[in-house]
Amino acid sequence: MQKWLAMTAVELGKGIDNREIDPVTLCETFLDAIDAHPHRDRIYARVTPGRAIAEATAAAARADKGHRLSPLDGVPISWKDLFDTAGIGTEAGSKLLEGNVPDRDATVLANATAMGLVCLGKTHMSELAFSGLGHNPSTASPPCVNDEEAVSGGSSSGAAASVAFGLAAAAIGSDTGGSVRTPAAWNDLVGLKTTSGRLPMEGVVPLAPKFDTIGPLCRSVADAAELLAAMEGRAPADIAAAFVDGRRFAVLETSAFDDIDEAPRSAFDTAVSIMEEAGAQIERIAFPALEDVMPLSGCLYTSEAYGIWRDEIEANPDAMFSEILERFRLGQKFSAPDYVAAWAKVDAVRGEYLRATARFDGVLVPTVPILPPKLDELKADHDFYVAQNLASLRNTRIGNLMGLAAITLPTGTPSCGITIMCSPFHEEQALRHAAGIEEALAEGRS
């Protein structure tokens, strides 16, 4: 049964469907693994064994009758601690929300439950989701699976760790500037950033609603497709016929390779070479207009985030991690005309970007230009923290600013991912091409 902890969600679902895996035993195996793990309390904010066993028991009864609700019916997953869970605390990694207990599930969680997924509990995260590092002295800082002295990436830090350490079959996180893709890349997982507006945000603690999105962190592209479908309450897209031969991909060189570490650059170049050997057509492109909007992130993100949280923050600022407090307060320095002008510029460049990349099946970038930093170094040096936080989200932020669907895949080099970005609301296209890349990389490494 220990082998179940390393299987993909789709594989576990097939095992349940074939009557080879009992959902209750599966759930108990994950709960036992969580309780026995030395980093349990650094990864999970709250474990929900009562709910999990009840949902697994119901899944087992459906499996016995041949009435499974979806391919993932009975599969246990974790949820980032900003998704409301009825009767269970939702604190978004912040003392500002300590004791907050909602009376209903977030819409996506309710949808997933209705499709039979089992909720193992809530995972730790960067405070109010406003950091790409995952360091949170207010609650906990989950470790990276490749270096337990390093952070796991944020803000879906515990989500990534729960899957990478075998404590959940998959996880659901959120992504405003990279909060699914950065921790997924640093923990060798698949992470899907959906288009803002694709999934309902009701019952999800907000950060910057014009950028906030929801997405899965998991072990395979097929898992990501199934989890997206479950959160929408529908059948998954067919990605079985995915391939890269003859596909046209652009490598975006603007901004994405500035000050990049050697490991992520080399891993990306190797992955692209493998794709070319598998028949993909690769073209390196520049998009200078991107350089005009990247600096606008400070205005757009902090203005919206501070506008959402100002009253709660200023009523109790001492309750916050100082680095996160400082980042929120940056929103004070921008005016309403600054914010409106920034959005006007971004909207114009989004149109330019889509026209410039329309001839490609997808655009490729290294997911994160740096490796996960050591936790002790982040604690000791404010300037280092700020620099690493900005770097951790630099490449992922391209997808958010341009409003794209994006998915990161492990390259085979620890903590180094490759991202494919596709047009807004084209998640199925992104998943299909990602599945082809995943297969090509697997064959290229074998």
The closest alpha carbon to 169, from 229, 118, 204, belongs to 118
What does the pLDDT average to over 20-45? 98
At residue 445, does pLDDT exceed 90?
no
Task: Please indicate, yes or no, whether residues 226 and 254 belong to a single structural domain of this protein.
Answer: no
Give the integer Cα–Cα distance in Å for 410 and 105: 31
Domain identity same for 212 and 258: no
Give the residue-averaged pLDDT of 182-196. Answer: 99
- Token pair for 68: 């499974």
Residues 260 and 222 in one domain: no
Concerning whether 155 is annotated as a catalytic residue, the answer is yes
Q: Is 179 a residue of the active site?
A: yes
Same-domain check for residues 351 and 397: yes
Structure confidence at residue 240 (pLDDT): 81
Rounded average pLDDT over 85-101: 98
Evaluate whether residue 78 is within a structural domain: yes
Q: Is pLDDT at 102 greater than 90 in this prediction?
A: yes
Average pLDDT score over residue span 8-26: 98
**Region 146-169: what's the mean pLDDT?**
98
218 and 287, same domain (yes or no): no
- pLDDT of 446 reads 74
Average pLDDT over residues 188-194: 99
Residue 214: per-residue pLDDT: 98
Q: For residue 242, is it within any domain?
A: no
Per-residue pLDDT at 242:
86
Mean pLDDT of 111-123: 98
Are residues 225 and 339 located together in one domain of the fold?
A: no
- The pLDDT confidence band at residue 241, using thresholds 50, 70 and 90, is confident
- Looking at residue 69, which CATH number applies to its domain? 3.90.1300.10
Asked if residue 205 is part of any domain, the answer here is yes
Which is catalytic among the residues 70, 78, 80, 303? 80
80 is catalytic: yes
Picking from 232, 256, 276, the residue at the C-terminal end of a domain is 232
Reported as a pLDDT band with limits 50, 70 and 90, residue 199 is very high
Q: Residue 33: its pLDDT value, please? A: 98
CA 67, CA 202: separation in Å to the nearest integer?
29
Which residue in 152, 162, 179, 303 is the catalytic one?
179
| Any domain includes 136 | yes
The boundaries of the domain holding residue 128 are: 2-232
* pLDDT tops 90 at residue 212: yes
Cα-based angle 435, 82, 392 (whole degrees, multiple of 5): 55
Tokens representing 27 are 């759930």
Residue 214 amino acid letter: I
Residue 320 lies in a domain: no
The pLDDT of 315-337, averaged and rounded, is 98
Mean pLDDT of 228-244: 92
Same domain as 129, residue 19: yes
Question: What's CA 374's distance to the chain center, in Å?
Answer: 21
119 and 190 share one domain: yes
pLDDT at 1 over 90: no
Per residue in 406-436, pLDDT tens? 999 999 999 999 999 999 999 999 999 999 9
Q: 228 with 259, same domain?
A: no
The contacts of residue 19 (CB under 8 Å, 6+ apart) are 63
pLDDT at 263: 98
Kindly state the average pLDDT of the residues 152-161: 99
pLDDT number for residue 237:
87
Instruction: Spot the catalytic one: 141, 155, 297, 415.
Output: 155
User: Tens digit of pLDDT for each residue in 374-392?
Assistant: 999 999 999 999 999 999 9
Any domain includes 301: no
Q: Does residue 310 sit within a domain?
A: no
Burial of 336 (0-12, 13-18, 19+ CB in 10 A): exposed
Domain count, the chain: 2
Residues 284 and 223 in one domain: no
Exposure of 199 in the CB half-sphere (CA atoms within 13 A): 35
Instruction: Examine the domain organization and report whether 60 and 167 are in the same domain.
Output: yes
Task: Please check the confidence at residue 6 and state whether its pLDDT lies above 90.
Answer: yes
Are residue 425 and residue 280 in the same domain, yes or no?
A: yes
- Give CA–CA dist 191/171, Å, rounded: 10
d(CA 286, CA 390): 22
The β-bridge relationship of strands 190-193 and 213-218 is: antiparallel
What is the per-residue pLDDT across 34-74, written as a single tens digit (0 to 9) for each?
A: 999 999 999 999 999 999 999 999 999 999 999 999 999 99
Domain membership flag for residue 180:
yes
